[in-house]
Amino acid sequence: MYLITVPYVLALFLAWTLIPSNVAGRTKKTIISSATFLGYCVGNMAGSQIFKEADAPRYSKSMFDCHRRLVGFD
């Protein structure tokens, strides 16, 4: 299981460096980088609240809710 998490973490840090690189200006890069990190943290906090133990084997309601939020229908 640990070997699966290593590529995810490496890709995550690579994405965190690539997102602000498309923006000009030091202040804008800092704001974009901070907003990306803040979105990551909020997503982790919300994700633990969406998946309930009552939906246990398939989590179909939770998966639908995640897809709905991803598309933006809130």
pLDDT number for residue 31: 94
Q: Which tokens hold the place of 32?
A: 């974009």
Given this model, what pLDDT does residue 1 score? Answer: 55
Written as six digits, the tokens of 5 are 């998490």
- Between the two ends of the chain, the Cα-to-Cα distance in Å is 33
Q: pLDDT at position 38, please?
A: 92
pLDDT one-digit tens code per residue, 12-60: 888 888 888 889 999 999 999 999 889 889 888 887 777 777 777 777 7
Question: Helices 26-50 and 2-18, interaxial angle, to 10°?
Answer: 140
Domain ranges of the chain: 2-71
The pLDDT, as a whole number, for residue 70 is: 73
pLDDT band at 9 (very low <50, low <70, confident <90, very high): confident
Q: How far apart are CA 70 and CA 10, in angstroms?
A: 23
